[in-house]
């Protein structure tokens, strides 16, 4: 939405050329979210959406896959921010904070399913954009680490508060994340599955090794 629609875009002033980069990124993100597939996010479709000529993109991205890669990087940063925000908004109780992070993760996937699929779809993973200067190999493989870190931290706090047990915090955090991911991904992909209404509890409660009941009256 906003001003990114059809053709007559006015050219940026000198020194503000970098603004087109942001517009390209936004258009690609919107095409991805609206479309049914990342195949819809072509270089020419992006150009069409902002109302520029297709070659103009090459001033800002080395090639087509670099755009998708940038969208994914941005999406992971966005996800991490949302997890932190949900955690901080959940108050002081460690179990509620952990649960808030899990819910925020699932919400993100449900709000932007196509984006979620591409983030964890791995096609950009094999991209040749690596050889370009756009991103280093470490950055790429550590993309999800920050978000996973938020989850692991929240799980650790819940363990420290006596809600759960863990013999290996990283291992249990990864297992929890995989459970969330399984649900998030499958929901993003299939509209017509008869999900049990309490499916989130049936995944989260066992995987966090919940032992003590919640301290407050809120359900967990």
Give the C-alpha separation, 220 to 204, whole Å.
Answer: 9
Site for its own copies in 24-83 (CB under 8 A): 36-37, 39
Does 180 bind its own copies (CB under 8 A)? Our answer is yes
* Collapsed DSSP state (helix, strand, coil) of residue 84: helix
Does 36 bind DNA (CB under 7 A)? Our answer is no
Which of 183, 31, 197, 51 shows the shortest CA–CA distance to 115? 31
Does 169 bind its own copies (CB under 8 A)? Our answer is no
Does 6 bind DNA (CB under 7 A)? Our answer is no
Give least dist CB 182 to DNA, A: 31
Give least dist CB 76 to its own copies, A: 13
Q: Which token pair is 89?
A: 């908004």
Measured from the CB atom, the residue of 90 and 129 that comes closer to DNA is 129
* The dihedral sign for the CA sequence 110, 111, 116, 117: positive
Which H/E stretch holds residue 117?
Answer: helix 113-119
- Binds 174: which of DNA, its own copies, none (CB < 5-8 Å by kind): its own copies
Query: DSSP 3-state helix, strand, coil percentages of the chain (rounded to 5)?
Result: 65, 0, 35
- Choose which of 12, 141, 211, 216 interacts with its own copies (CB under 8 A): 141
| Contact residues: DNA, CB under 7 A | 9, 11-20, 42-45, 51-56, 58-59, 63-64
């Amino acid at each position: 939405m906003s001003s990114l629609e059809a053709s007559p875009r006015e050219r940026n002033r000198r020194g503000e050329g970098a603004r087109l980069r942001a517009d390209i990124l936004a258009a690609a993100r919107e095409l991805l979210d609206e479309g049914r597939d990342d195949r819809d996010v072509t270089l020419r479709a992006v150009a069409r959406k902002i109302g520029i000529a297709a070659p103009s993109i090459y001033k800002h991205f080395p090639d087509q896959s670099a755009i998708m890669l940038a969208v994914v990087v941005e999406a992971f940063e966005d996800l991490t921010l949302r997890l932190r925000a949900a955690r901080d908004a959940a108050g002081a109780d460690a179990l509620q904070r952990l649960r808030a992070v899990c819910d925020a993760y699932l919400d993100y996937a449900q709000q932007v399913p196509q984006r979620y699929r591409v983030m964890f779809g791995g096609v950009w993973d094999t991209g040749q954009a690596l050889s370009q200067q756009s991103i280093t190999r470490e950055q790429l493989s550590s993309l999800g680490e920050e978000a996973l870190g938020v989850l692991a931290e929240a799980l650790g706090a819940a363990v420290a508060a006596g809600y759960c047990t863990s013999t290996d915090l990283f291992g249990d955090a990864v297992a929890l994340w995989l459970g969330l991911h399984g649900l998030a991904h499958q929901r993003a992909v299939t509209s017509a599955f008869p999900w049990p209404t309490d499916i989130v509890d049936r995944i989260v409660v066992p995987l966090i090794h919940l032992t003590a009941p919640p301290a407050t009256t809120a359900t967990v």
